[in-house]
Amino acid sequence: MNRKINGFSKLSKKAKMEWLAKVHLKNPKKGLDLMNSYMHIDQNIQKKHDEFIENTVANYYLPLGVAPNFLINDKIYTVPMAIEESSVVAAASKSAKFWLSRGGFKSKIISTKKIGHIHFTFDGEKNYLIDLFSRSKHDLIKSTELLTKNMRQRGGGILDVNLIDKTEKLINYYQLEVGFETCDSMGANFINSCLEEMAKFFRESIENEIKNVGSIDVIMSILSNYTPECIVRCEVACTIEELTKNDISESKIFAKKFKQAIEIAKIEPYRATTHNKGIMNGIDSVILATGNDFRAVEAACHTYAAKDGQYKSLTDCEISNDIFKFWIEIPLSIGTVGGLTKLHPMVELSLDILGKPNSHELMEIVAASGLAQNFAALKALTTSGIQKGHMKMHLLNTLNQLGASETEKEILQRVFSKTAPHHAQVVSAFNNLRNTQEGDFSND
């Protein structure tokens, strides 16, 4: 069957679904029924989903879970998390409960500046460009006045513009680096619009003057998702004694091993990647639930993790004077207004559950979720191992994959209530149960 098509985007949604099913699926009817069954019952809501992106043919669901008992800056939150991986919500809840009785999470905004660049080349004298820039800087900012009016009224806008010389790395390459404060919005559209306006003004205003001294070529104007000056820090701390329920020597061993696990993630990129992946389990799920851009947050966090020239842990730990301190410092450029916040009903719900936080408060919550996740992972890894808890949580997924009935699930969950079975053990128990049931049935 010919899979090429012209004008696909112009087809109606129904026609797109039918084409897709007919051309790509072995059982078109089954595929169509499935796509239709994932449409929202409320046409208005479905229309919003259809219009979030292009060529929508269905919805793709993720579970929305909540982790209660998060004490952050002396306020208790129930944290919404959208994620498909079992154990993540349970781990966050467990960590939150652990720290609830030990002072909770202390989160602090360090800085909130976002950055964008006009990337350009200039083949003339560097000093000429420096002089030209200092003469045009004021007008460059002024050229965006209309665009920045509302943001300035909210306390944000353009913070500064600097000329950056990158010619040592790439011939004739310079940047205009622009700093922004975008208040409660993530600000990507705002930043990009300002940059494009500035680039246009820059090009047009210097065109005549520059003719005899060289040529300027604007390559592109775009925000950077790396935001090393938009930083949140979150910390937990308690006495070593409080770390475990058992005697102090066990607490000391736990603290020591926990710190060693962090030290490993600070020098070994193989471990650091998995370590940070676990942190991102906690971060991305809250980012998704609150309608923020998890790809942007991921990109920023991983670049930040490599800022010293080697990829390493985003968390750190200190043991001093019998106090155990564990913290995270990450770049988070997120918003609580604009974007999906008023469009996606589940995003609105998530923000309501959090008590309608502003962007700073949401940064503090997200950082706590990442730290909680890492605490749970390292606690498990350095004591019982990760599989015990994970396989227990994963049991239902395995049983669903095997096609277990509700009764079979109930029986096998009871059987494994005190152990963490491996996949093969679940399969074998399931087969035994089925055989026994079939035996019972045939005896009837």
Return residues touching ligand MEV (CB under 6 A): 85, 274-275, 277-278, 281, 377, 381, 386
CA–CA distance, 229 with 331 (Å, rounded to integer) = 7
Catalytic-role residue among 18, 85, 177, 229: 85
The distance of closest approach from Cβ of residue 76 to ligand MEV in the complex, given in angstroms and rounded to an integer, is 26
Please, what is the minimum distance in Å from the beta carbon of residue 112 to ligand MEV?
A: 29
Q: Is 42 a catalytic residue?
A: no
Residue in 277, 298, 408, 409 annotated catalytic: 277
Residues 6+ apart with CB under 8 A from 19: 5, 8, 11
Catalytic: 277?
A: yes
* Stretch (H or E) spanning 37: helix 28-37
Q: Compare residues 278 and 291 and give the one whose CB is closer to ligand MEV.
A: 278
User: Nearest approach, Cβ of 381 to ligand MEV (angstroms)?
Assistant: 6
How many residues are present in the chain?
Answer: 444
Please answer whether residues 408 and 400 qualify as being in contact, where contact means their C-beta atoms are separated by less than 8 angstroms. Answer: no
CA distances, 3 to each of 9, 13, 22, 25 (Å): 15, 18, 10, 11
CA distances from 219 to 42, 171, 173, 180, 195 (A): 45, 13, 10, 21, 12
Query: Nearest distance from residue 394's CB to ligand MEV, in Å?
Result: 11
SS3 label, residue 319: strand
What span, in angstroms and rounded, lies between the C-alpha atoms of 294 and 300? 10
Listed residue (383, 414, 380, 384) closest to 399, CA to CA: 414
Q: Please tell me which residue in 196, 284, 293, 361 is annotated as part of the active site.
A: 293
Of 279 and 365, the one with the shorter C-beta distance to ligand MEV is 279
Toward ligand MEV, which CB reaches closer, 238 or 378? 378
Could you tell me if 331 and 300 are in contact, meaning their C-beta atoms sit under 8 angstroms apart?
Answer: yes
386/433 with CB nearer ligand MEV: 386
3-state secondary structure of 119: strand
**Among this protein's residues, is 360 annotated catalytic?**
no
For the chain, the straight-line distance linking the first and the last C-alpha, in angstroms and rounded, comes to: 51
Torsion over CA: 35, 41, 44, 48 (sign): negative
The answer to whether 390 is a known catalytic residue is yes
Residue placing its CB nearer to ligand MEV in the complex, 136 or 281 = 281
* Minimum CB distance to ligand MEV smaller for 83 or for 194: 83
CB nearer to ligand MEV: give 95 or 112. Answer: 95
Least distance CB 269 / ligand MEV (angstroms): 14
- Minimum CB separation of residue 234 from ligand MEV in Å reads 17
> CA geometry: angle at 204 spanning 199 and 205, to 5°?
100
Q: How far is the CB of 324 from ligand MEV (least distance, A)?
A: 18
What is each CA distance from 21 to 24, 35, 43, 60, 324, in whole angstroms?
6, 9, 22, 17, 57
* Torsion angles phi and psi, residue 237, rounded to 5: -155, 145
Distance between CA atoms of 96 and 140, rounded to whole angstroms? 48
Q: List the catalytic residues.
A: 85, 277, 293, 390
